[in-house]
Amino acid sequence: MKKQVQFIYAALIYFFLYLPLAVMVAYSFNASRFTMQWKGFTLHWYDQLLHDASLIQAALHSLAIATCSATAACVVGTVTALAIHRWRFAGRKTIHAVLFIMMMSPDIVIGISLLVLFMAISLPLGFWTLFMAHVTLCVPFVAITVHGRLQGFDPHVVEAARDLGAGEYEVWRHIILPMTMPAVLAGWFMSFTLSLDDVIIAFFTTGPTFEILPLRIYSMVRLGLKPEVNALCAVMILITAVAVVTTQGLLKERQ
């Protein structure tokens, strides 16, 4: 009895969470253009997607910005995490707190504050401004993931390595880096997804010269729901799902 209740409860949660996505994916295969009626299965919208040059362009932009900003955020975030883990310095606690604040701040606040900053130093909005904005968005996530993993280590492992003759460089190279690598990769995929999904920050920090996919979709939807958008979103769900599953796999301890 208790098992059944648990099962129904879980089923309801998944139902409400994923019903909209399922409906959208289903409609991406619907042959009808204007009505919500089911007119039969088609791959037409996927085909059209492939031949929409400006959409492909926006998608490539999105992938490029996600890859670049995830990579940069990983470097900055990992170094930050290592620094606050390994050394005791003034401002260490502050950095840790600021990371959490940045993680919690609403996207719209980050977006507008960055826009004001870019305007103040009169940077033209485009690839570089968006890149910087997304790095800012992702660094806290990477830093906190990597820091969490470092905290989980036996602190004597580093001492053991030094005891066995490893200098500072060898400790980094053979102990700390390999042991944190799963968290760094997980942080990369997390950042990649964050960047790929972001609409609000991108809305404020990119310009007409550099259009990305979420914004493109947003403008398409304003003129009414189109089946191509459904197809496009289905593809993005797939990419996100792959990134999430990879992240989880990397973070799980290999027991």
Give helix 177-197 / helix 213-222 axis angle, nearest 10°: 20
Instruction: Check residue 161 for interaction with another protein (CB under 8 A).
Output: yes
Least CB distance to another protein at residue 251 (A): 15
Least CB distance to another protein at residue 92 (A): 18
Least CB distance to another protein at residue 242 (A): 25
Least CB distance to another protein at residue 187 (A): 18
- Secondary structure string (H, E, C) spanning the chain: CHHHHHHHHHHHHHHHHHHHHHHHHHHCCECCCCCCCCCCECCHHHHHHHCCHHHHHHHHHHHHHHHHHHHHHHHHHHHHHHHHHHCCCCCHHHHHHHHHHHHHCCHHHHHHHHHHHHHHCCCCCCHHHHHHHHHHHHHHHHHHHHHHHHHHCCCHHHHHHHHCCCCHHHHHHHHHHHHHHHHHHHHHHHHHHHHHHCCHHHHHHCCCCCCCHHHHHHHHHHCCCCHHHHHHHHHHHHHHHHHHHHHHHHHCCCC
Least CB distance to another protein at residue 79 (A): 20
Cα separation, 226 vs 230, whole angstroms: 7
Count interface residues toward another protein (CB under 8 A): 19
Cα separation, 128 vs 22, whole angstroms: 36
For another protein, the closer CB: 93 or 174 = 174
**Can you say whether the dihedral through the CA atoms of 36, 40, 41, 42 is positive or negative?**
negative
**What token pair was written down for 166?**
């490893």
Instruction: Check residue 157 for interaction with another protein (CB under 8 A).
Output: yes
Instruction: Check residue 254 for interaction with another protein (CB under 8 A).
Output: yes
- Member of 124, 148, 178, 249 binding another protein (CB under 8 A): 178
Least CB distance to another protein at residue 176 (A): 10
Contacting range for another protein; rule: CB under 8 A; set: 119-127, 140-148, 165-173, 213-221: 165-173
Instruction: Check residue 175 for interaction with another protein (CB under 8 A).
Output: yes
Contacting range for another protein; rule: CB under 8 A; set: 29-37, 173-181, 230-238, 244-252: 173-181
By rule CB under 8 A, what string of x and - marks binding of each residue 40-79 to another protein?
----------------------------------------
Instruction: Check residue 165 for interaction with another protein (CB under 8 A).
Output: yes
Residue of 19, 56, 21, 26 lying closest to 227 (CA atoms): 26
Least CB distance to another protein at residue 186 (A): 15
Instruction: Check residue 148 for interaction with another protein (CB under 8 A).
Output: no
Contacting range for another protein; rule: CB under 8 A; set: 43-51, 54-62, 122-130, 167-175: 167-175
For another protein, the closer CB: 17 or 177 = 177
List interacting residues with another protein (CB under 8 A): 154, 156-157, 159-167, 170, 174-175, 178-179, 254-255
